[in-house]
Amino acid sequence: MCKQQLLKVLEVVEKQDTWRKKECINLIASENIMSPLAIEVFSSDMMHRYAEGLPYKRHYQGTKYVDEIETLVIDLGNKLFRCKHYDPRPISGMIANLCVFAALTEPGDKIANLKIPDGGHISHSIVGTAGVRGLKTLNMPFDSKEMNIDAEKLKKVKKEKIKLVVLGGSLFLFPHPVKEIKEVLDDTKILYDAAHVLGLIAGKRFQDPLREGADVVASSSHKTFPGPQGGMVYTDNEKISKQVAQAILPGLISNHHLFRLPSLAITLIEMLEFGEKYADQTVKNSKKLASSLYEMGFKVLCEHKGFTESHQVVVDVRENEGGKTVAETLERANIICNKNLLPWDNNEDTDDPSGIRLGVQECTRTGMNESEMEHIANLITRVIIKGEKPEKVREEVIQFKKEYSKTKYCFT
Ligand code: DSN
| Domain finish residue from 218, 243, 267 | 267
Ligand 1 center to residue 225 CA distance, Å? Answer: 14
For residues 18-25, average pLDDT? 98
Alpha carbon distances (Å) from 181 to 67, 167, 226, 264: 39, 10, 29, 32
SS3 state at 152: helix
Looking at the chain, the whole-number percentage of residues with pLDDT higher than 70 is 100
Does residue 346 lie in a domain region? yes
My answer on whether 248 and 370 are in the same domain is no
What confidence score (pLDDT) does residue 155 get?
Answer: 85
What distance in Å separates the CA atoms of residue 183 and residue 199, rounded to the nearest whole number?
27
Ligand 1: residues within 6 Å at CB?
A: 30, 93, 170
What confidence score (pLDDT) does residue 257 get?
Answer: 98
What distance in Å separates the CA atoms of residue 186 and residue 155, rounded to the nearest whole number?
11
pTM of the model: 0.98
Torsion angles phi and psi, residue 130, rounded to 5: -60, -40
My answer on whether 231 and 135 are in the same domain is yes
Q: Which amino acid is at 6?
A: L
> For all residues of the chain together, what is the average pLDDT?
97
What confidence score (pLDDT) does residue 348 get?
Answer: 87
What confidence score (pLDDT) does residue 395 get?
Answer: 98
My answer on whether 243 and 282 are in the same domain is no
My answer on whether 302 and 238 are in the same domain is no
| Domain finish residue from 217, 251, 267 | 267
Which residue's CA is the nearest one to ligand 1's atom 5? 30
My answer on whether 211 and 238 are in the same domain is yes
Burial zone of 308 (CB within 10 Å; 0-12 exposed, 13-18 middle, 19+ buried): buried
Confidence of residue 185 (pLDDT cuts 50, 70, 90): confident
What confidence score (pLDDT) does residue 156 get?
Answer: 82
Q: Domain residues for 363?
A: 25-34+274-401
Whether the bond into 55 is cis, omega within 30 of 0 = no
Ligand 1 center to residue 386 CA distance, Å? Answer: 30
pLDDT digits (tens, 9 = 90+) for 30-66: 999 999 999 999 999 999 999 999 999 999 999 999 9
Residue 338 CA: nearest ligand 1 atom is 5
Q: Is the pLDDT of residue 1 over 80?
A: no
Residue 195 CA: nearest ligand 1 atom is 6
Is the distance from CB of 305 to CB of 151 less than 8 angstroms? no
Does residue 306 lie in a domain region? yes
Is the distance from CB of 101 to CB of 135 less than 8 angstroms? yes
pLDDT digits (tens, 9 = 90+) for 112-143: 999 999 999 999 999 999 999 999 999 999 99
Q: Is the pLDDT of residue 159 over 90?
A: no
Looking at the chain, the whole-number percentage of residues with pLDDT higher than 90 is 96
My answer on whether 163 and 289 are in the same domain is no
What confidence score (pLDDT) does residue 175 get?
Answer: 98
My answer on whether 201 and 162 are in the same domain is yes
Confidence of residue 180 (pLDDT cuts 50, 70, 90): very high
What distance in Å separates the CA atoms of residue 233 and residue 239, rounded to the nearest whole number?
13
What's the farthest any 2 CA atoms get from each other in the chain?
Answer: 65
Q: Is the pLDDT of residue 186 over 90?
A: no
My answer on whether 87 and 139 are in the same domain is yes
Domains held by the chain: number: 2
Q: Ligand 1 pocket check: which of 92, 95, 97, 170 to mutate, most ligand atoms within 8 Å of Cβ?
A: 170
My answer on whether 89 and 215 are in the same domain is yes
Does residue 12 lie in a domain region? no
Does residue 329 lie in a domain region? yes
What distance in Å separates the CA atoms of residue 142 and residue 160, rounded to the nearest whole number?
17
For residues 255-283, average pLDDT? 98
pLDDT digits (tens, 9 = 90+) for 207-231: 999 999 999 999 999 999 999 999 9
Does residue 106 lie in a domain region? yes
Ligand 1 center to residue 50 CA distance, Å? Answer: 28
Q: Is the pLDDT of residue 260 over 80?
A: yes
